[in-house]
Amino acid sequence: MYSTAAHIPRRCGWLTDIHLNFVNLSARDALWQKIASAQLDSLLITGDISEADDICYELTRLRSEFPGQIFFVLGNHDFYHGSIDLVRERVEWTCKTQPRLHYLTGNAPMPMAGGWSLCGDDGWGDARLGDFFCSPIRMNDFRLINDFAHLDSHSLYRKLKRLGTESAIRLSQQLRVAAQQSNHILVLTHLPPFKESCWYEGGHGNDDWLPFFACHAVGLTLKRFCRSNPSHEVIVLCGHTHHRGVSRILPNLLTWTGQADYGQPQLEAILNMEDFVHPNASWGYP
């Protein structure tokens, strides 16, 4: 558990879908100038950092560029040209050998300033929302991630559902622990957990895209937790769709989906955890 006082995030910068494998040096320098001027002590990254062949290199490079703590989950692109379990094992090993890198998936909640706890899981488009079998969409994931290669539609459907279920189980365990530490929980995940979180040009995903753009199992877990713990506030930061939007799912459950553009990584928001309340207050844009 990452629980030493020196690691407690106070002023955090949120990044999502930065796709560093598409970023040239000038765009990278521009990002780090913004981060440096924001005087952050921590970064929160909601996946799609790079691809499997250089994800560990990019994480190590991020650590060399930023002097504070880096908390992250992985996105689907981070597994391209690799396999899910192997990439996660390599990333876990990198975090064990590189101080200040913290992979949240499968790990214990992290205490934050302002009485918040930090949880996170990669999530996966789990084919439970929308119409998987009638959708004409076939993600690059199914060609570029080894786990999906050569699967027929029914096998792929079962695999996606299983990945979503595994994410939900891990997050449920984290939430249970976090609830004992704090009444305020911040969750990082890559996939939007609800249809209402699948923002695209001001609207929400349709049945063709939803099977691959939401992790319904994680959404059900979040709803179940929030309904069972009405005194706990949960805020979810996610990405994947590259379009920004905020959705109030329940009185104590809110999601923010981050904006992204290939080749132009941005600081999505600055979160001052000591007075962090809701998007109209301390969710500061840089």
- With respect to residue 262, please indicate whether it lies within any of the assigned structural domains: yes
Residues 237, 12 contacting (CB under 8 angstroms): no
Residues 124, 163 contacting (CB under 8 angstroms): yes
Residue entry with tokens 């005194």: 231
**pLDDT value at residue 206:** 87
SS3 content of the chain, % helix, strand, coil (to 5): 40, 20, 40
Q: How many domains are contained in the chain?
A: 1
* pLDDT above 70 (res 285): no
- With respect to residue 5, please indicate whether it lies within any of the assigned structural domains: no
DSSP state of 258: P
* pLDDT above 90 (res 133): yes
Closest CA to 258 of 275, 273, 271: 271
CA 240, CA 258: separation in Å to the nearest integer?
A: 8
Cα–Cα distances in angstroms (integers) from residue 1 to residues 63, 96, 204, in the given order: 19, 12, 36
User: Averaged over 7-13, what is the pLDDT?
Assistant: 88
- With respect to residue 261, please indicate whether it lies within any of the assigned structural domains: yes
Q: What is the pLDDT of residues 24-62, one digit of tens each?
A: 999 999 999 999 999 999 999 999 999 999 999 999 999
Residues 194, 160 contacting (CB under 8 angstroms): no
* pLDDT above 50 (res 283): no
Residues 66, 33 contacting (CB under 8 angstroms): no
* pLDDT above 60 (res 162): yes
- With respect to residue 64, please indicate whether it lies within any of the assigned structural domains: yes
* pLDDT above 80 (res 268): yes
Split at pLDDT 50, 70, 90, the class of 278 is: low
Q: What is the pLDDT of residues 165-224, one digit of tens each?
A: 999 999 999 999 999 999 999 999 999 999 999 998 777 878 999 999 999 999 999 999
Tokens of 63: 């650590």
Closest CA to 172 of 125, 222, 123: 222
SS3 of 142, please? helix
Provide the residue range defining the domain that includes 245: 10-284
Split at pLDDT 50, 70, 90, the class of 117 is: very high
Cα–Cα distances in angstroms (integers) from residue 25 to residues 28, 45, 58, 262, 263, in the given order: 5, 20, 13, 14, 10
- With respect to residue 150, please indicate whether it lies within any of the assigned structural domains: yes
CA 120, CA 237: separation in Å to the nearest integer?
A: 9
**pLDDT value at residue 101:** 97
- With respect to residue 3, please indicate whether it lies within any of the assigned structural domains: no
Closest CA to 84 of 162, 1, 193, 194: 162
Q: What are phi and psi of 240, to 5 degrees?
A: 80, -45
Q: What is the pLDDT of residues 57-104, one digit of tens each?
A: 999 999 999 999 999 999 999 999 999 999 999 999 999 999 999 999
- With respect to residue 54, please indicate whether it lies within any of the assigned structural domains: yes
**pLDDT value at residue 8:** 82
- With respect to residue 174, please indicate whether it lies within any of the assigned structural domains: yes
CA 120, CA 123: separation in Å to the nearest integer?
A: 9
- Domain with residue 112: its CATH number is 3.60.21.10
Q: Per mean pLDDT, which range of 3-12, 40-49, 238-247 is the poorest?
A: 3-12
**pLDDT value at residue 194:** 98
Cα–Cα distances in angstroms (integers) from residue 223 to residues 185, 219, 264, in the given order: 13, 6, 34
**pLDDT value at residue 277:** 60
**pLDDT value at residue 265:** 96
Q: How many CB atoms lie within 10 A of CB 247?
A: 18
